[in-house]
Chains A and B, each alone.
Chain A
């Protein structure tokens, strides 16, 4: 993968155009999604098409030439793509996060430089998480500043998108434990991306490792990422809504398959019906999944509106509110994706487990992706506000 995009990107100008482009792409991506999963065939050509469509630039603010779309639209776009192929839906997750963190913390000249690249079709990956640090919020990777350069050394994992990126934003701590992001060129000396993701779900995200061995960058390629959490910003909710949108997409995709295959199921002997779709329990089972999926979509849209408000007027209250509603979307999307991808088989019957349909990919993807951060702490986050009036902690997972 080179440090420059192969194709120039189309410029999307409105929310409506973003939805239209995503709908069209999703239809195309759905065709070989099962084959890509089965063969773990990395979606290199699909990603080129995806970023060249302009969808990776829709959050660039209007002042910098982008469409600055609503986060209701961002969530809808990721949901639509994820319903077709949630690996493709997940890959831009950190790219979109970086666009926001640039907006929150970068200098004017950095914003102009990087937003222009995003609109030209450059893709950001990520080298944030570490598998060996004490917890998800701690980093052993070090950034050291020497005059007008910085050097970064460490070992990363869960680096979704890095393999396919032109620029790899990498988190390192300075000597005071403050987090900085260095925007490294994909072909920077000392940066190695390792294709060692072998998860049973989200198989084609290439969420493997990155090693950093004395990688040197100019200060113009470094941003003080910790500032996005030192003061109230929508950055945490923005990271989270994309997670929830991926899982909502998985739920939507699984329910579509449940309906398709339930229509073809044989009637059960005791139902005294001619067709499986006449089975009163199947009908009620689909009804139960359907209202849950619609409800999850409605909460996801609410979360997008809350983020828009927090971006327009960032303060303790608007950011806390966005965190709280995004947490609801996270809980419901995880719950609904897991339920729909499991009930799918119950409603469609034994023939739906045949290997040729590869329908288990919905559950494998749901189970894998919903582990990103534990939903159990989102109930706690919401309850702690409702009961005790405690606002959510500000970090990349809230």
Chain B
């Protein structure tokens, strides 16, 4: 499962667990998470119309950050933590470098 799909699914299970809240901090937490998930989805859509060689890497960063944010919120709001897939073979930290090196230095 992609990071974006997993982020969506975790957000949905967290939302179902909480179900309803009048707490403005809990409410705005869900707003923030929805933004992170939709931001990743919008960058994934952008890949089709922007033929930049690093557009997909940018979408991957957004999805990975969204997944981490949703996972933290899952623990905070439900007391549970769903295990995330390993990313050791494709570390997030190097993706920022890939995007930066292309946009700063024109190097792929």
Q: List 30 A-B contacts (CB under 8 A).
A: A259-B104, A262-B104, A263-B104, A282-B100, A284-B96, A286-B99, A286-B100, A286-B104, A287-B61, A287-B97, A288-B61, A290-B103, A291-B57, A294-B43, A295-B43, A298-B46, A299-B38, A302-B38, A328-B34, A328-B39, A331-B31, A331-B35, A332-B35, A379-B35, A380-B31, A382-B35, A384-B27, A386-B30, A387-B21, A388-B20
Interchain CB contact under 8 A, A284 and B28: no
A286 to B61, CA, bound (A): 13
Interchain CB contact under 8 A, B43 and A291: yes
Q: Residue A277 at the B interface, CB < 8 A?
A: yes
Q: Which residues of B contact A331 (CB under 8 A)?
A: 31-32, 35
Total interface residues on B, CB under 8 Å, equals: 38
Interchain CB contact under 8 A, A382 and B62: no
Q: Which residues of B contact A287 (CB under 8 A)?
A: 61, 95-101, 103-104
- Per-residue CB contact flags for chain A residues 261-283 toward chain B (1 = under 8 Å, else 0) read 01100000000000001001011
Question: Per DSSP, are chain A's interface residues mostly helix, strand or loop, or mixed?
Answer: helix
Q: Residue B15 at the A interface, CB < 8 A?
A: yes
Interchain CB contact under 8 A, B46 and A283: no
Contact of A386 among B34, B46, B98 (CB under 8 A): B34
Contact of B26 among A277, A301, A387 (CB under 8 A): A387
Total interface residues on A, CB under 8 Å, equals: 36
Q: Which residues of B contact A378 (CB under 8 A)?
A: 31
Known: A286-B99, A295-B62. 12 other contacts (CB 8 A): A286-B104, A288-B96, A290-B58, A291-B62, A295-B42, A298-B45, A328-B34, A331-B32, A383-B30, A383-B32, A386-B31, A387-B20
Interface centre among A277, A284, A295, A332 (most CB of B within 10 A): A295
Contact of A285 among B43, B58, B93, B100 (CB under 8 A): B100
Interchain CB contact under 8 A, B43 and A298: yes
A286 → chain B closest CB, angstroms: 4
Q: Which residues of A contact B95 (CB under 8 A)?
A: 287
A230 → chain B closest CB, angstroms: 26
A277 to B105, CA, bound (A): 7
Interchain CB contact under 8 A, A286 and B30: no
Interchain CB contact under 8 A, A284 and B43: no
Q: Residue A381 at the B interface, CB < 8 A?
A: yes
Q: Residue A134 at the B interface, CB < 8 A?
A: no
Q: Residue B29 at the A interface, CB < 8 A?
A: yes
Q: Residue A376 at the B interface, CB < 8 A?
A: yes
**Those 3 A-B pairs whose CB atoms lie nearest each other, nearest first:** A287-B100, A383-B31, A382-B31
Q: Residue B24 at the A interface, CB < 8 A?
A: yes
Interface positions of A from 362 to 381, Cβ below 8 Å from B: 376, 378-381
- Per-residue CB contact flags for chain B residues 8-45 toward chain A (1 = under 8 Å, else 0) read 00000001001011001011111110110011101101
B103 → chain A closest CB, angstroms: 5
Q: Which residues of B contact A384 (CB under 8 A)?
A: 27, 31
Interchain CB contact under 8 A, B28 and A376: yes
